[in-house]
Amino acid sequence: MKQVHLILQGKGGVGKSLVASLITQHFLAKGLAPICYDTDPVNQTYAGYKDFGAIRLELMRDGNIDQRQFDQLIEAIINAKDDATFIVDNGAATFVPLCAYMFENDVAGFFKEHGLQLVIHSVLTGGQAQADTMDGLASLLDHFKSVPVVVWLNEFFGRIERDGRKFEDSKLFRDNQEQIQALIRIPEVRKETFGADMDQMLRQKLTFKEVKEAAGFTVMAKQRLAMTWRTIDGQIAAANL
Residue 74: Cβ within 10 Å count: 17
Q: Is the pTM of this model over 0.85?
A: yes
pLDDT of residue 110: 94
In the predicted structure, residue 173 carries a pLDDT above the cut 90 = yes
Q: What is the mean pLDDT of residues 93-103?
A: 86
pLDDT of residue 201: 95
- Report phi then psi at 163, rounded to 5: 55, 35
**CB-based contacts of 105, cutoff 8 Å, min separation 6:** none
pLDDT of residue 52: 95
Residue 96 CA: distances (Å) to CA of 45, 64, 120, 196:
20, 10, 15, 33
Q: What is the mean pLDDT of residues 110-125?
A: 94
**CB-based contacts of 115, cutoff 8 Å, min separation 6:** 1, 2, 82
pLDDT class for 6, splitting at 50, 70, 90?
very high
In the predicted structure, residue 135 carries a pLDDT above the cut 90 = yes
Q: Contact, 144 vs 177, CB < 8 A?
A: no
